[in-house]
Structure 1
Amino acid sequence: MRYLVFARKAYAEPLRYQDVLEAEGNPKGKAEQAFGEEWLEVVLVPETAVRWVVREREEVAHG
């Protein structure tokens, strides 16, 4: 499964998009390996849960 990764290092910061993570089974463990422990908060959003409102035409044709 693919996850969009959002993270921040301080509560005063907003969550920001970081990357896409592909993980089966234990996404938490893979996220910890990929992003380390310097992050205060990491949020994984399943890509299938995203509802695009505006998207580039080329991405729609190929994605």
Structure 2
Amino acid sequence: MTNTTTVITWLVRRAGIPFDATIWVPDTGTVEEAKAEARREHGANAQAVRRPNDPHWTSLEPASR
């Protein structure tokens, strides 16, 4: 038996670099989890953004404090 998880692809923006990376977050994940994953994978100033064709589009998340 194979375990699978449905994920949502988020775009990642870093300071001065427009949307050059992506992260996958489980569809049950929160915005806070997406922000944390973006920062873990791409640095403290990374911002997570939902893909434009997702039904729950979000604007840019604030940069880390």
For normalisation by structure 2, the TM-score amounts to 0.48
Larger proportion of helix: 1
Larger RCO: 1 or 2 (CA < 8 Å, sep 6+) = 1
